[in-house]
Amino acid sequence: MYSSSWERENFLQVRWNGSLEFKGENGQSQAASVHADLKQEANAVTGRVWKEEGEHFEIEQGQVTGNEISFKFHAPEGEEEQVVVHSVKLNFASPTELQGTLEFDLGGQKMSAKLTFTKVN
């Protein structure tokens, strides 16, 4: 685990590219490209996340606690494009990688996916 707090503060001041891995409707594993601009000030995290250019979602309630980054964002999901709250938890895996999960509730069904981000140089 990556744990240097001084380096972690600078660690978040950049863009991250990554992948979102989830089970599709047919039960098959699927992946999508995801991106994040993260900025840390003390224990607060701000920024935005997106899958496609033009559809950026502002981070809310972002914080760093120990080795974990957590935040929420609102984005549309499902065939009806219902806007739901997405919860993200990430851990510092290395100086260039974040790993964690994304969860949301869609029509009473809990959905979750694996997130992996790599720092963009």
Q: How far apart are alpha carbons 4 and 31 in whole angstroms?
A: 31
- Give the pLDDT of residue 1: 45
* pLDDT at 36 (0 to 100): 94
Q: Write the DSSP symbol of residue 55.
A: -
Q: How far is CA 41 from CA 16, 100, 115, in A?
A: 17, 21, 23
pLDDT in tens, the chain (121 residues): 444 443 455 556 789 999 999 886 677 888 999 999 999 888 999 999 998 777 899 999 999 998 899 999 999 887 778 899 999 999 989 888 999 999 999 888 888 999 999 999 7
CATH number assigned to the domain comprising residue 107: 2.40.160.90
Torsions phi, psi of 83, nearest 5? -80, 125
Q: Structurally, how many domains does the chain consist of?
A: 1
Give the domain extent around 48.
5-119
What pTM does this model have?
0.85
